[in-house]
Amino acid sequence: MRKILVIHGPNLNLLGSRETSVYGTTTLDEINQKLTRLAKERGVELSFLQSNHEGDIVDAIGRSAKDGFTAIVINPAAYTHTSVAIRDAVAAVAVPAIEVHLSNIYKREEFRHQSLIAPAAAGQVSGFGVQSYLLGLEAAIGLVNGQ
């Protein structure tokens, strides 16, 4: 069975109560449940990591191939705009990554308009709320299935 790593960046553990006008009321656990259902339907296994610490995310990406992952779905959250380390980790591994965001980062504050991660990722999905994660997972599955 193919394995996909889902990485949730800083403050995403607060989903459901944090800035609900931007991120909605769905919790991270609910997002993970929806992803798990879709993965089961598509015959893939998911592993989840939520971290508020850049190094933990870099380490997980760096060992993703060794750990048997065939793709990564990542919401780097605030690190999207600041982390060269995460960008370099995504670029360094032979595991394709799909960057996802609940909100449309290009319709928000100007400092959020640039993603350092996107140029290293296979693709990006943003602005569709929870659906961004599901679309990102579908894209990752398509990549690992050669579609």
Do 141 and 78 meet the contact criterion of CB atoms below 8 Å apart? no
Q: Is 8 an annotated catalytic residue?
A: no
Please tell me which residue in 23, 81, 106, 113 is annotated as part of the active site: 23
CA-CA distance, 131 to 54, in Å (whole number)?
Answer: 25
Strands, E assignment, the chain: 2-8, 44-50, 69-75, 97-101, 123-126
Alpha carbon distances (Å) from 84 to 44, 47, 58, 64, 92? 30, 24, 10, 18, 12
Q: Is 101 an annotated catalytic residue?
A: yes
Please tell me which residue in 8, 79, 101, 133 is annotated as part of the active site: 101
Residues designated as active site = 23, 101
